[in-house]
Amino acid sequence: MKKKDTLSETMNALRDKGYVDDLNLLDDQIENRTKGKKYPIDDFEVDNYYRFEGISNPADSSILYAITTSDGHKGMLVDGYGKSGGQVSEKMLNKLQLK
């Protein structure tokens, strides 16, 4: 899927493709609040990611991950990057490493 102009447009397009669950980034796992489950690093795959730069403020930069879990659930994870990025384990950073 091609990135849309805004984070919200891209999220809507991903929802249309089945990425409906709300995911949260933890130190060494992701949490699917929609399903009430947590997934260790080896139990999910990053299908795609999209970067968004803040127009007027570089601190507003974010990244959207489209993720599929080992049990077939699809969801989205939004995180800041640069100085505003979350604090996670090195293993998680490697999993989410942008190629």
pLDDT by residue, tens only, the chain of 99 residues: 666 678 999 999 999 999 999 999 988 899 998 889 999 999 999 999 998 876 655 556 888 999 999 999 999 999 876 544 556 778 887 788 754
Where do the structural domains in the chain lie, given as residue ranges?
7-93
Query: Contact at 8 Å (CB) between 88 and 28?
Result: yes
Q: Sheet holding 62-69: strands in order across?
A: 37-40, 29-32, 21-25, 74-80, 62-69, 44-52
| pLDDT score recorded for residue 93 | 79
pTM above 0.95, yes or no: no
| pLDDT score recorded for residue 68 | 97
Amino acid at 1: M
